[in-house]
């Protein structure tokens, strides 16, 4: 068996079929990174899984999942100003959380070097929006590399570290979902782990000032702009930019994965068009772009998400009096969704349909039934939503938050009517409860999210005496992103740690009304939620049950067989189990009979109490 950790630590050069996220860890090792931090979020958490796969006694990296992206970024920054090369990685919207500190990085002299790996998510595959984080690079004077595939991500990371160290500036490596998760055979260079010294390198005298206040702000900003200019000049002829010259009068400027989609939809002989692919998207290689514009009568900017390149390239053309026809976004559809090959086909068709390979539209005879995501068999959140729904009035307001429990907004529970961001629920619920005497307000919050960004909203609810009920959906882990530990788990990536228990934490904050119950005690949970909602003021219900996906996987790993439930002949086809409780293990025959799918059932038995005629039992 090829263990990932052993593969990544091989001293000699080798080639291996690896995912982008995993390949990055080899790049970290080769380039002498010492400190890596993160908060888990798709599409990047597999970077953490690859780091923790390294055998502990051979792992030169310090790694932590911090409580949120801002703290992760600060830990990486602190290490880097002390001379340790660092890397922080997180998902697209994670940068919003980190942004207060992130926007300062450009002003800082970072002698150790620091790379920010951003997992943007065009197509919103697993995010609440598809924000274009290239804007953040411009906002903060920080350069951005954008690879087209895993092999390039590996090479660009090493180049980003080299430049970051040399210029003492932060560098962003912006990946998108299908670069993070794509797999390809990658050629890896040899790895020589060198002894690194632990002498503190932090020196405000030598590299500072690090206090950006009063007039030093302007001085630091000027240095940031100079560093960026210097970076731009060096990157003008970077090998990461790619020009495909077929001698055409028409050209396309593009980047990253959309480039690969473009190559896919062009017919095999693509002599009709020239292509400039940019490997650095901020700051732009202006001379290279101007030359490309001058060489072409018409240029199409093919870019995913916003018109970031388009605006800059059009202004370059204006400044240089170029009369090249520049085509950017045609309509709003061009702003929306991932630039897959099919999407690029749609986008290009609006300008140059003659360039495209053939495509047939067909209509299937029978459409497949949609399959929305749902909570796993045995999930404690299912018992919670089933019980909570019974405690609330139909017109009550429910505020969702981020986690597996977000799925409660779907039928059959339909709990959770508004969602902004990680940890927003207490704040939003507080606002909803103002000048509102008719409807109760209930907010949900996961345990990892509580520690991540939920605490300020909770403290504000105590401080400003808000009136709503917060239900904490505690499952002891960060389930949605792959079961990373959180401060309430009692473990971190290195092992045991002090567990921060939620109830005493809330008590110490002055929350007056706290209920705590395992969600499998459904009747009690219903009762507690009723009482909490009746309470005049801020109340909390901790509705806890460990993640059963994690539990069932651990059981299977240990070789244990899971029990199953079955339907007995007492069944009167009331369908509470299959339709209202909604565990996916229950299957419904056309004639109304219900049966339990052994592929799915984990024998947790949380369903037994949902049957009004006691027709569910554990199979002997």
Partner 1 sequence: MEKFDIYLIGVGGQGIGLLSETIARAIDHAGFEVQGVDTHGLAQRGGVVESYIRIGPSHSPLIQKGKADLVIGLEINEALRGLNNYLRDEGTLLYSQTEWQPLAVRIKEDRQDVSAAIAAECNERNIKKVIADKIKLEDARMENVVILAVLAREKIIPGVKKGHYSLALQDLMAGPVLDKNLEIFLDVFGD
Binding site for partner 1 (CB under 8 A): 1-2, 17, 42-43, 46, 125-126, 149, 177-178, 181-185, 257, 260-261, 263-265, 340-342, 345, 359-360, 362, 364-376, 404, 406-407, 410-412, 480-481, 556, 559, 561, 575, 578-579, 582, 584, 586-588, 590, 597-600
Q: 521 Cβ partners below 8 Å, 6+ apart?
A: none
CB-nearer residue toward partner 1: 65 or 77? 65
CB-nearer residue toward partner 1: 76 or 182? 182
Task: State the DSSP H helix or E strand holding residue 515, giving kind and residue range, or none if neither.
Answer: strand 513-518
**Going edge to edge, which strands form the sheet with 114-120?**
62-65, 35-38, 86-91, 114-120, 170-176, 144-145, 280-282
Q: Using CA atoms, how far apart are residues 330 and 504, in angstroms rounded to an integer? A: 56
Q: Minimum CB separation from partner 1 for residue 580, in Å? A: 9
At how many degrees (to 10) do helices 216-235 and 150-167 cross? 130
Q: Using CA atoms, how far apart are residues 213 and 474, in angstroms rounded to an integer? A: 42
CB-nearer residue toward partner 1: 206 or 362? 362
**Long-range contact pairs involving 150-153 (C-beta distance under 8 Å, separation at least 24):** 150/18, 150/19, 150/20, 150/23, 150/179, 150/182, 150/183, 150/184, 150/186, 151/23, 151/184, 151/186, 151/187, 152/240, 152/279, 153/20, 153/23, 153/24, 153/27, 153/179
**Structure tokens of 227?**
């560093």
Q: Minimum CB separation from partner 1 for residue 611, in Å? A: 15
CA distances from 360 to 75, 315, 357, 363, 365 (A): 52, 38, 10, 10, 16
- Cβ–Cβ < 8 Å for 242, 255: no
Q: Minimum CB separation from partner 1 for residue 300, in Å? A: 18
CB-nearer residue toward partner 1: 269 or 365? 365
Q: Minimum CB separation from partner 1 for residue 182, in Å? A: 4
Q: Minimum CB separation from partner 1 for residue 66, in Å? A: 21
Q: Using CA atoms, how far apart are residues 496 and 267, in angstroms rounded to an integer? A: 57
Q: Using CA atoms, how far apart are residues 438 and 572, in angstroms rounded to an integer? A: 38
CB-nearer residue toward partner 1: 551 or 586? 586
Q: Minimum CB separation from partner 1 for residue 49, in Å? A: 11
CB-nearer residue toward partner 1: 269 or 368? 368
Q: Using CA atoms, how far apart are residues 145 and 280, in angstroms rounded to an integer? A: 4
Largest CA distance in the chain: 84
CB-nearer residue toward partner 1: 372 or 495? 372
CB-nearer residue toward partner 1: 51 or 548? 548
CB-nearer residue toward partner 1: 420 or 503? 420
- Half-sphere exposure (Cβ direction) of 7: Cα atoms closer than 13 Å: 19
CB-nearer residue toward partner 1: 259 or 520? 259
Q: What is the DSSP string of 94-125?
A: HHHHHHHHHHHHTTS--TT-EEEEEEE-TT-S
The strand pairing partners of 173, in sequence order, are 117, 145
Q: Minimum CB separation from partner 1 for residue 149, in Å? A: 8
CB-nearer residue toward partner 1: 341 or 605? 341
**Structure tokens of 476?**
């002891």
Q: Minimum CB separation from partner 1 for residue 549, in Å? A: 8
Q: Minimum CB separation from partner 1 for residue 466, in Å? A: 29
Q: Minimum CB separation from partner 1 for residue 126, in Å? A: 3
Q: Using CA atoms, how far apart are residues 65 and 36, in angstroms rounded to an integer? A: 9
Q: Using CA atoms, how far apart are residues 561 and 368, in angstroms rounded to an integer? A: 33
Q: Minimum CB separation from partner 1 for residue 124, in Å? A: 10
Q: Minimum CB separation from partner 1 for residue 424, in Å? A: 17
CB-nearer residue toward partner 1: 74 or 476? 476
CA-CA-CA-CA dihedral for 214, 219, 220, 224, to nearest 10: 150
């Amino acid at each position: 068996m090829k263990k990932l950790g052993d593969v990544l630590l091989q001293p000699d050069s080798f080639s291996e079929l690896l995912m982008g996220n995993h390949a990055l860890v080899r790049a970290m090792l080769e380039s002498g990174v010492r400190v890596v931090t993160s908060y888990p979020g798709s599409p990047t958490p597999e970077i953490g899984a690859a780091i923790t796969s390294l055998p502990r006694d051979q792992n030169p990296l310090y790694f932590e999942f911090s409580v949120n992206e801002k703290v992760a970024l600060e830990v990486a920054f602190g290490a880097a100003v002390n001379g340790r090369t660092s890397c922080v990685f997180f998902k697209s919207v994670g940068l919003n959380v980190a942004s207060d500190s992130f926007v300062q990085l450009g002003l800082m002299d970072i002698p150790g070097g620091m790379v920010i790996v951003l997992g943007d998510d065009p197509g919103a595959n697993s995010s609440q929006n598809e924000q274009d984080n290239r804007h953040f690079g411009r906002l903060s004077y920080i350069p951005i590399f954008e690879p087209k595939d895993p092999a390039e991500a590996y090479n660009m990371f090493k180049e980003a570290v080299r430049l970051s160290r040399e210029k003492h500036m932060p560098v962003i490596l912006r990946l998108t979902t299908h670069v993070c998760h794509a797999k390809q055979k990658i050629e890896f260079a040899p790895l020589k782990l060198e002894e690194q010294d632990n002498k503190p390198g932090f020196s405000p005298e030598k590299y500072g000032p690090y206090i950006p206040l009063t007039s030093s702000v302007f001085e630091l900003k000027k240095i940031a702009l100079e560093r960026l200019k210097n970076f731009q000049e060096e990157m003008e002829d970077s090998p990461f930019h790619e020009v495909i010259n077929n001698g055409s009068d028409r050209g396309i400027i593009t980047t990253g994965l959309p480039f690969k989609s473009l190559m896919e939809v062009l017919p095999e002989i693509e002599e009709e068009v020239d292509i400039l692919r940019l490997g650095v998207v901020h700051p732009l290689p202006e001379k290279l772009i101007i030359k490309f514009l001058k060489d072409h009568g018409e240029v199409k900017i093919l870019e995913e998400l916003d018109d970031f390149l388009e605006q800059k390239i059009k202004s370059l053309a204006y400044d240089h009096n170029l009369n090249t026809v520049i085509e950017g976004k045609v309509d709003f559809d061009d702003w929306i969704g991932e630039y897959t090959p099919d999407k690029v086909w749609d986008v290009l068709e609006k300008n140059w349909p003659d360039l495209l390979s053939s495509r047939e539209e067909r209509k299937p005879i029978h459409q497949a039934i949609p399959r929305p995501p749902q909570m796993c068999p045995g999930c404690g959140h299912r018992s919670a939503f089933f019980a909570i729904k019974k405690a609330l009035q139909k017109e009550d307001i429910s505020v969702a938050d981020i986690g597996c429990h977000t799925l409660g907004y779907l039928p059959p529970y339909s709990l959770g009517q508004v969602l902004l961001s990680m940890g927003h629920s207490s704040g939003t619920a507080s606002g909803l409860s103002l000048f509102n005497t008719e409807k109760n307000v209930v907010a949900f919050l996961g345990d990892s999210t509580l520690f991540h960004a939920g605490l300020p909203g909770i403290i504000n609810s105590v401080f400003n005496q808000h009136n709503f009920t917060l239900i904490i959906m505690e499952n002891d882990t960060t389930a949605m992103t792959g079961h990373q530990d959180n401060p309430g788990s009692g473990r971190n990536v290195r092992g045991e740690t002090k567990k921060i228990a939620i109830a005493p934490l809330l008590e110490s904050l002055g929350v007056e009304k706290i209920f705590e119950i395992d969600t499998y005690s459904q009747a009690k949970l219903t009762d507690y939620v009723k009482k909490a909602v009746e309470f005049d003021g801020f109340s909390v219900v901790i509705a806890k049950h460990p993640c059963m996906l994690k539990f069932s996987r651990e059981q299977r790993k240990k070789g244990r067989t899971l029990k199953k439930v079955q339907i007995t002949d007492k069944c009167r086809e009331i369908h509470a189990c299959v339709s209202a409780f909604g565990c996916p293990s229950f299957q419904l025959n056309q004639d109304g009979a219900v049966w339990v799918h052994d592929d799915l059932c984990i024998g947790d038995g949380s369903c037994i109490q949902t049957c009004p005629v006691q027709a569910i039992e554990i199979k002997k």
